[in-house]
A and B are shown apart, each in its own frame.
Chain A
Amino acid sequence: DTGVSQDPRHKITKRGQNVTFRCDPISEHNRLYWYRQTLGQGPEFLTYFQNEAQLEKSRLLSDRFSAERPKGSFSTLEIQRTEQGDSAMYLCASSLQIAKNIQYFGAGTRLSVL
């Protein structure tokens, strides 16, 4: 499978715990995006990388959230001290740096905070 891969697919955690998600983009794609989606809404942008540089962060990304892409390949998204409001689907997407910037999404990690 050469698409965007996310791990884990599901994560159940207790409030206050830390969680980390991983995203492996399509191999030749230099841009990587994180989005969050709650029930009945479209995905909302969180942050994006071009190669290893984090170029933009949404105001939705509080201090408890951190994302990295250390070698310009896979990325991790960590949430510290999880809250019930963090429960959502976390989607990763990747794209090539060309005009239309078409983004291809992974299957997502569904987070449930109890």
Chain B
Amino acid sequence: RKEVEQDPGPFNVPEGATVAFNCTYSNSASQSFFWYRQDCRKEPKLLMSVYSSGNEDGRFTAQLNRASQYISLLIRDSKLSDSATYLCVVNSRSNQGGKLIFGQGTELSVKP
């Protein structure tokens, strides 16, 4: 079993749609959680951190459920520019470090 698992996708949605991505992680000792966005053949870029209380950044809402080891990302009113791969990321502390464990990513394609 992979440490971080995501919906495989791809998700094909029309502009304006609401889309939700789900993710589960296996290490209950994980400390920090993130969503990164990766455009085709580009580097991953931080979209948002994820907090237990839930957090929102414009059209994006992230939720964390530590008891269920579940992370979600909701995108409202999707735009063409939201088309990308969304990576669920967990910070798995080891030694004094903080290597990131990535899910395989979920591809989103927003169509006109």
Contact = CB atoms under 8 A, between A and B. Distances in A.
A-B pairs, 7 with minimum CB distance: A42-B102, A101-B98, A105-B43, A45-B99, A43-B102, A107-B43, A42-B104
B104 A102 contact: no
Given A56-B97, A103-B98, 9 more contacts: A31-B97, A41-B104, A42-B87, A42-B89, A42-B105, A58-B99, A102-B34, A102-B46, A105-B44
B98 to A, nearest CB: 4
A21 interface: no
Interface in B25-53: 32, 34, 42-46, 49
Interface residues of B, number: 24
8 contacts: A40-B104, A40-B105, A55-B95, A91-B43, A100-B91, A101-B32, A101-B91, A107-B43
Interface of B: 4, 32, 34, 42-46, 49, 87, 89, 91, 94-105
A103 to B, nearest CB: 6
Interface residues of A, number: 26
B99 A108 contact: no
Instruction: Tell me the interface secondary structure of chain B in the complex.
Output: strand
Contacts of B102: 42-44
Interface string A73-93: 000000000000000000101
A106 interface: yes
A45 to B, nearest CB: 4
A106 B43 contact: yes
Contact of A100 (B43, B45, B49, B94): B49
Nearest to A108: B43
Contacts of B91: 100-101
A113 to B, nearest CB: 18
Nearest to A33: B99
A31 B104 CA distance: 24
Nearest to B44: A105
